[in-house]
Amino acid sequence: MKKFHLRSFALAGLLLMGTACESETSGEQSDDQEAQGSSEEASADEGEGSAEQDDWPDPLVYGILPSEDEQELSDEYEPLAGYLSDELGVDVEFHVGTDYNAMIEAMANDHIHVAHYGPFSYVLANERSGGEAFAMGIETEGEETYQSNIVTLEDSDIESVEDLEGSDIAFVDPASTSGHLFPMAHLVNTLDSSMEEVESMFENVTFAGGHDTAMLALLNGDVDAAGVGDFIVDDVEHENIDRVQIVDETDEIPHGPETVQSDLPESLKEAVAEAFLTMDEDPEVEDFLEDRDNQAGFIEVEDSTYDIIRETSDALEMSPEELME
């Protein structure tokens, strides 16, 4: 019996040794398999992400509306290109449009994929090119609107909107929200006149092409007044800038949105939105945000944010087609 037990113990020992070795080997194999599985899973995730990006445009083209010198705009937006490229994993290029309508057509024809529009040009882009608003840049938390100012110089005889009768005035662009449409709507309401009556009260109307150039036309004495966004006064350097005086202000206007092509892949649209909404967390773009008066970063917006723009358009009886002419 003892032999039997000894043999049993010996066998048990061998079995235990074998089991231990097998367990160790199995453990090593399990660890290897687990590592391999993790690697394969990571590769699968990476592959899935890569596959998800296969239908993303590369380069991604970002469109900018003209508000100042084209080279200055390109320089200011360069940090954005680097940031978006890092976040999205694709090259990012810029397209600076000649005017609002050209930018809308560029998006409609797939020449640009993401763009910053003014509020009214966004409404046109939404209708004509399927652009979708997804984010709005803000300077200060809670301040999501701005105004348009009708301005002149301090030695002018123009002290009220009634005094604009017979004057030469500069606007920005026929489709510019703060550089034409809201000032005109304000004059229509304040003077209780029609659009045609307001237009006929001026001796000459000039569309300068940019907020800065409209302001410079005033500062250089080429016009008597200008209708521009309230932000431009601080952005223009000129010997006469201290002589600018505000004749009147419009209602509040929502800031223009960042807009994405509606027919882009949903994965890309989500990635672009996420990149903008978290941009203020990256110190590399801090100067860019400050230059664009977006120190507080970006907040999420929807198409309905711009219904007030549509209401203004209706009040002026101006269709997108008329503005596109």
CA distances (Å), origin 230, targets 140, 191, 212, 251: 15, 21, 11, 12
Give the model confidence (pLDDT) of 155-201 as tens digits: 999 999 999 999 999 999 987 889 998 999 999 999 999 999 999 99
Q: What is the pLDDT of residue 142?
A: 85
Q: Please tell me the predicted confidence (pLDDT) of residue 47.
A: 47
Judge if 278 and 139 occupy the same domain. Answer: yes
The pLDDT of residue 101 is above 90: no
* Neighbouring residues of 83: CB distance < 8 A, sequence distance ≥ 6: 275, 279, 282, 284, 285, 288
* pLDDT for the residue numbered 31: 52
In this prediction the pTM is: 0.66
DSSP secondary structure letter of residue 292:
T
pLDDT at 265: 96
Residue 156 backbone phi and psi in degrees, to 5:
-80, 155
- Residue 285 · residue 279 · CB < 8 Å: yes
Burial of 163 (0-12, 13-18, 19+ CB in 10 A): middle
Signed CA dihedral, 264, 268, 270, 273: sign only? negative
CATH number of the CATH domain containing 299: 3.40.190.10
Range of the domain at 91: 60-144+259-324
What's the domain count of the chain?
3
Q: pLDDT value at position 72?
A: 78
Angle among Cα 103, 286, 258 to the nearest 5 degrees reads 25
Asked if residue 246 and residue 205 are part of one domain, the reply reads: yes
Is there a single domain that holds both residue 267 and residue 245? no
Same-domain check for residues 140 and 266: yes
d(C-alpha 118, C-alpha 128), whole Å: 15
User: Residue 20: what pLDDT?
Assistant: 45
Q: What does the pLDDT read at residue 322?
A: 67
Task: Please tell me which of 20-34, 90-104, 276-290 the model is most confident about, judged by mean pLDDT.
Answer: 276-290
**pLDDT of 13 strictly over 50:** no
Contact indicator for 233, 244 with CB cutoff of 8 Å: yes
Domain check: are 85 and 134 in the same one? yes
With pLDDT > 90 as the criterion, what percentage of the chain qualifies?
58
The tokens for 315 are 């009040």
Last residue of a domain, one of 209, 233, 250: 250
